[in-house]
Structure 1
Amino acid sequence: HSSSISFDTEPNELPLIREGCATRALTFVDQEIFAPGVQARAGKHVA
């Protein structure tokens, strides 16, 4: 059964932690800064 499922492991977790923190930060910026601006303009007519 050892060849049926294989998982790669990362011996150093710091790159994974950094990537996760960057993803959370970008998601926050997207939701809190860019998304409210789009919702505020939804009612205006664009010519």
Structure 2
Amino acid sequence: MSTTLKYTEVLAKSGNDSEALKAALLERHPDLGLLVALELCTKVATGAMAWG
């Protein structure tokens, strides 16, 4: 079994909380960079913000 979590699994474990999702992604990828994009992406993915 792969130890890499898919994005959808991380999203599900975050409980649809954008801050929890952001923290989980940063924990797994501390050198991710472009934090403003991560902030936007996690809000859209959890439904906290509409896209478009």
When normalised by structure 2's length, the TM-score is 0.29
Q: Larger relative contact order (C-alpha < 8 A, sep ≥ 6)?
A: 2
When normalised by structure 1's length, the TM-score is 0.31
Larger Rg: 1
